[in-house]
Chains A and B, each alone.
Chain A
Amino acid sequence: MNGFFETGAVGTVATWLAVLVTLCVWSYLVGERGLLRIAQLLLAGLATGYLALIAIREVLIPQLITPVTSSSAHPELVIDLALVAVLVVGRWLPRRLVAVPAAILVGGTVGYALGGAVSGTLLPQLAAGMIPIAAGPGDALAGAIGVAITVPVMLSFLHGVPRGRLLSGVASTGRWLMLGGIGAWFGFLLLSRLALLVDRIGFLLGDWLGLLR
């Protein structure tokens, strides 16, 4: 079903392994926790090993170690190496020293995210939210509903100022609308998980038992 497994003996072994792990996880439905625990530990161990391998093979060696040790080394990479080293052994170093690479890391991440959010999301979405007058009644209504939802939700984040009865009511409506949005998101999440269940059942009945081919 998923097409990742080969057709030979390797594929057979991989299919059986996947079946066993799937059944280990599902054993929780009948109250068996030991098998689920084994599956969880297996996942955690494999994920950690994989991440370590990715970090070493695809990041540290090609992007840091090799350029630093090569003849045409870039001097700025030595500073990068020092910052990484400070972060790695930061537990045993003074807090003020560790704060420098940590601040660069956090500041850089926030800078990219904030700049992108403003230029890529906020401004274009504001522009898209402005409905031209010549648009049809459906677009106009959709725009009006959008404004009627956005304004109360934004006002619900208004804290620290005295709020009158009207403002409190609008803010309360905004919180309810936000909860409605979260509920809708939860519905999408449920749908997504249901699709995964379908995939697993398809795998068991199709790839393993051959009933759905």
Chain B
Amino acid sequence: MTESPDQQEAGKPPEPPELSERPEQAAEPETLEGGEPLETSEPGEVELADERSRRGSRLSPGARAGIPALALVVLLAIASFIPGIDLTASGSDAAAVRDLEAVVTGLPSGAPVLVDIDGDLGTYPEIRYATRAALADLLRQGANLAIVSFSPEGRAIAVAEIARLRDLGAGPGRLLDLGFRSGGEAALVQLAGSGIGPNPTGPLADALRKGGVGSFHLALVIGGADIGPRSWVEQVQPRLPDLPIAAITPSFLLPEVLPYRGSGQLIALVGTLPADLAYGKQVAAKGAAFGPGTFTDRSPSSGAIVFGMLVAIAVLLASSGGSLAGWARSAWRGARS
């Protein structure tokens, strides 16, 4: 964010941009509480502003820009001492893993589970490991999976995952492909109201048609595309309040779905790479089939993670190196003068 010249002159902290403000409002004079217009063009006011500017300019722009970050750090430091607030990432990751494990372990053998694979092709690699771990864990637990997608990208991922699970030996009695449902949220509502429909075939499909959509013991939502955990909470949960919903999402969706976990609308939520890895390792420890290859082979290697971090830092430094050097040079000159 950049300061306007007027703000820099006045020495005031920059005002954040008005969101969806009417253009004509900008031309209207600002009013006080009593509706009295503010007078800003008096000579005395200008001198006062100059005085404020001199006082405010004791801090350099860089230091002023760092004040919000410093305030945030102080706030977090204070909050970390308050009992009941867990700010450590490892704690929340461990809790997320525990939640999902408990949900899967609590399923009875043969329980039908509805899996919505609606990942985004661009972000799916982040949650691929956790998704496969969850599918492997569900199959190990004896659950029967019905896989559905509401986005074309999710369908592409679902087709690949279904083929992989079939190669691992999941037959039609354990794995049902419900296909792609067009219509977005309307299709979700239709699934919640009408069930799987007449098209799917096989013993699992017949059992699900007989028991209705209420026979599902769990809905596992793999998010990333337009239809994700939020859509499930908004469209399916009000219609099927007894169906628990768990979710695996890329980390960029966490700000959107974390409140649902906090309110209990999602019974489990795995959404960060450390949580993905931790969950996968827990499932691997149970000896779940994960193929092709062993479970460990499929996990992101620590070497790749370290190398990726170094590449990211190098790219950041290369892209901002010029401006950083200029800032350091001007700061050095300012200190000398």
Known: A162-B31, A180-B68, A188-B254. A196 touches B122 (CB 8 A): yes
Give bound CA distance, A55 to B84, whole Å. 50
Cα distance A29–B314 when bound, in Å? 12
Q: Is B305 in the interface zone, CB < 8 Å from A?
A: yes
State the main secondary structure of chain A at its contact with B. helix
Q: Does B160 contact A (CB under 8 A)?
A: yes
A180 to B79, CA, bound (A): 17
- Option from B179, B307, B315 in Cβ contact (under 8 Å) with A205: B307
Q: Which of B79, B84, B125, B297 contacts A136 (CB 8 A)?
A: B84
Q: Would A116 and B180 count as touching, CB distance under 8 A?
A: no
- How far, in angstroms, from A6 to B167 measured CA to CA in the complex? 11
**With the chains together, A213 CA to B307 CA distance in Å?**
15
Do A112 and B186 contact each other (CB < 8 Å), given the known contacts A120-B238, A180-B68? yes
Q: Annotate B299-337 by CB proximity to A: 1 below 8 A, 0 otherwise.
A: 011011101110110010000000000000000000000
- Select which of A141, A185, A206 is within 8 A of B304 by beta carbon: A206
Decide: A142 and B19 in contact? CB cutoff 8 A: no
Q: B235 at interface (Cβ–Cβ under 8 A)?
A: yes
Residues 96-128 (chain B) with a chain A CB within 8 angstroms? 122-123, 125-126, 128
Residues of A close to B298: CB separation below 8 A: 1, 3
Given contacts A160-B22, A205-B307, contact A125 B185 (CB under 8 A): no
CB distance A120 to B233 under 8 Å? Answer: yes
| Residues from chain B with Cβ under 8 Å of A2 in the complex | 125, 128
- Using A175-B16, A197-B311, A213-B297 as known contacts, say yes or no to A192 and B251 having CB atoms under 8 A apart: yes
How far is B252's CA from A119's CA once the two chains are assembled, in angstroms? 24
Please pick, from B85, B185, B252, the residue contacting A116 in the complex, using a CB distance under 8 A.
Answer: B185
Residue B194 is within 8 A (CB to CB) of chain A in the complex: no
Nearest CB of B to A79, in Å: 16
Interface size for A (C-beta < 8 A) is 71
| Distance between Cα atoms of A211 and B17 in the complex (Å) | 49
Quick one: which of A163, A194, A202 contacts B312, CB cutoff 8 A?
A194
Tell me if B231 is interfacial: C-beta within 8 Å of chain A: yes
Q: Which B275-291 residues have C-beta < 8 A from chain A?
A: 291
Chain A, residue nearest B318 (CB):
A29
* One of A57-65, A86-94, A95-103 contacting the partner: A57-65
- Whether the pair B234, A116 counts as a contact (CB closer than 8 A) is yes
Chain B neighbourhood of A178, CB < 8 A:
16, 19
B63 surroundings in chain A (CB, below 8 A) = none
A189 within 8 A of B: yes
Q: How far is the CB of B266 from chain A (nearest CB, A)?
A: 11
Residue from the list B255, B259, B301, B315 in contact with A202, Cβ < 8 A: B301
Chain A residues with Cβ below 8 Å from B164 are: 3-4
B47 interfacial contact with A, CB 8 Å: no
Q: How many A-B residue pairs have CB under 8 A?
A: 186
Per-position 1/0 for A34-64, Cβ under 8 A of B? 0000000000000000110011001100110
Chain A nearest CB from B297 CB (Å) reads 7
Contact of B33 among A58, A156, A164, A205 (CB under 8 A): A164
Residue B35 contacts which of A119, A160, A162 (CB distance < 8 angstroms)? A162
Contact of A109 among B156, B184, B230, B307 (CB under 8 A): B184
Residues of B within 8 A of A168 (CB): 30
Contacts of B27 in A (CB 8 A): none
Does B292 count as interface, using CB distance less than 8 angstroms? yes
The reply to whether A141 and B233 form a contact with Cβ atoms under 8 Å apart is no
Cβ-defined partner of A165 (8 Å) among B33, B231, B235:
B33
- Min Cβ gap A71→B in Å is 15
B155, B264, B307, B315: which has the most chain A beta carbons within 10 Å? B307
Interface hits, A78-134 → B, CB 8 Å: 108-109, 112-113, 116-117, 119-121, 124-125, 127-128
CA distance A188 to B122 in the complex (A): 15
Question: Within 8 Å CB of B305, what residues of A?
Answer: 198, 202
Which residues of A are found within 8 Å of B7, using beta-carbon distances?
none
Question: In the docked arrangement, what's the CA distance between A126 and B42, Å?
Answer: 48
Q: Which residues of A contact B68 (CB under 8 A)?
A: 176, 180
Separation in Å of the B150 CB from the closest CB of chain A? 12
A113 touches B255 (CB 8 A): no
A121 to B257, CA, bound (A): 10
Nearest 6 pairs of A and B residues by beta carbon:
A138-B84, A116-B234, A120-B234, A202-B304, A128-B263, A164-B33
Residue ranges of B at the interface with A (Cβ–Cβ < 8 Å): 1, 15-22, 25, 30-33, 35, 68, 72, 79, 82-85, 122-123, 125-126, 128, 132, 152, 155-156, 160, 164, 179-180, 182, 184-186, 189, 199, 230-231, 233-235, 237-238, 250-255, 259, 262-265, 272-273, 291-293, 297-298, 300-301, 303-305, 307-309, 311-312, 315
A-B contact pairs, 25 of them (CB 8 A): A1-B298, A3-B291, A3-B293, A4-B164, A7-B292, A120-B233, A120-B237, A125-B259, A127-B263, A138-B83, A138-B85, A139-B84, A141-B84, A159-B20, A162-B31, A175-B16, A180-B72, A188-B255, A192-B252, A197-B311, A198-B305, A199-B125, A200-B125, A201-B311, A205-B307
